[in-house]
Amino acid sequence: MKRLILLFGCLTLMTGLFEVRAQEIPISQQMTATAMEIWKERPRKWSYDQGVLFEGIERLWKRTGDKQYFEFIQSSMDKFISENGEIDTYEEDHFNIDNVKNGRTLLFLYKETGKQKYLTAATHLWEQLKKQPRTKEGGFWHKKIYPNQMWLDGLYMAEPFYTEYAVLVKEEAAFYDIANQFIYMEKNSVDKKTGLLYHGYDEARVERWADPQTGRSPHFWGRAMGWYAVALVDVLDNFPKNHHQRPTLIKLLNKVSKAIQSVQDQQSGVWYDILDQPAAKGNYLESSASSMFVCALAKGVRMGYLPKSYAKVAKKGYEGILKEFVEQRAPGKINLKGTVTVSGLGGKPYRDGSFAYYISEKVITNDQKGVGAFIQAANEMEIAIK
């Protein structure tokens, strides 16, 4: 009996020790440990979801130097990239701007390894952007199947890669085009009263979801604005410091940051799926948008683009994420709850951009987009704490 009591006491002590050790492991590393456990296998097709995750892990690798993070990114990408630089399942003629996102990971691998196959693969995506259909004004279509439409999502998918590749090949004219993509999107989708941006814009005003006067979709979707805000801070990493349009991009970041702060839920610290309707039946707090906002604000402050006052907004948001969405999965591993899987406009079945549509989409635990955004946010907050 005494042996059983002693054994139970030892197990209790060990359990407590695991909890203490888990707490000592930085949150960014606990989330990454989960990601590396559940996404070992290659997904069915080339997808931007992976790119969001890899970018978070890349930043963690650069901060820690832990080779397991680099090896995970490289081995995952190598499942798609042939030795001659072809990308399996990628089809340029679809002109899907989402498919450009992973180009940043290809450039990262090329710079770190010097392997030509990564640059060749990235060049395929660069060639897509050179041929990408555009609105009459000059904005990239979101996809070939969505003619004349710009979505906030597309700024994140294309512009950080576009900027980094343009620096690599010294394509000076590209920087005007990159800045203009943000300028066009903001001009056509911003609500002047609130500073919030509508999810999409149809220049032709023919889509069922498009306002016949403005061409805008009906609502302010959280993750769409998250894509836009993070795109701005990421583009500024490589956008030439002496370019006369750089101050315009910083101004746009300040404008959207003010709008983001204005719709932060004061009780929880995080943000709703539909940003301006917290009391609407069915609306809910959403983790991927909240993570993107925290990342954009924290990085914006760190890089000197935003006033230091936004550090408090980011801190409140991050604390809210930890409380609302994070749960312990196992010793040294966590889960991220509350990520909406997808929200789009048009397509089949038709997504009409209504409030009812947005809240009908599935919300899950450990979605790659949410996890990747959260790792990026956690990394920024851990830098800030130091």
For residue 72, give both structure tokens: 């995970």
* Banded pLDDT at 19 (limits 50, 70, 90): very low
* Banded pLDDT at 2 (limits 50, 70, 90): very low
CB 249 within 8 A of CB 313: no
Q: Is 153 marked active-site? A: yes
Cα-Cα end-to-end distance for the chain: 49
Amino acid at 190: V
Burial class (CB in 10 A: 0-12, 13-18, 19+), 188: buried
305-345, pLDDT tens digit by residue? 999 999 999 999 999 999 999 999 999 999 999 999 999 99
For residue 286, give both structure tokens: 């959403």
With a threshold of 0.85, does the pTM exceed it? Answer: yes
What residues does 160 pair with on adjacent strands? none
Backbone angles phi, psi at 9, to 5 degrees: -65, -40
Amino acid at 81: I
223-273, pLDDT tens digit by residue? 999 999 999 999 999 999 999 999 999 999 999 999 999 999 999 999 999
pLDDT for res 261: 98
Average pLDDT, stretch 79-95? 98
For residue 219, give both structure tokens: 């609502």
What are the angstrom distances between the C-alpha of 358 and each of 224, 353, 361?
12, 7, 6
pLDDT for res 23: 58
Structural domains in the chain plus CATH codes: 23-385 (1.50.10.10)
pLDDT for res 6: 34
Residues 6+ apart with CB under 8 A from 9: none
What are the angstrom distances between the C-alpha of 61 and each of 40, 51, 57, 244?
18, 15, 6, 33
Q: Which one is catalytic: 153, 202, 234, 273? A: 153
Average pLDDT, stretch 271-276? 99
Distance from C-alpha of 227 to C-alpha of 288, rounded to nearest angstrom? 10
58-84, pLDDT tens digit by residue? 999 999 999 999 999 999 999 999 999
For residue 132, give both structure tokens: 């990408």
pLDDT for res 12: 33
Average pLDDT, stretch 30-38? 98
161-178, pLDDT tens digit by residue? 999 999 999 999 999 999
198-209, pLDDT tens digit by residue? 999 999 999 999
Q: Please provide the DSSP assignment of 126-162 as one string.
A: HHHHHH--B-TTSPBPSBTTBTTEEEHHHHHHHHHHH
Whether the link from the prior residue into 212 is cis, omega within 30° of 0, is no
Average pLDDT, whole number, for the chain? Answer: 94
pLDDT for res 21: 45
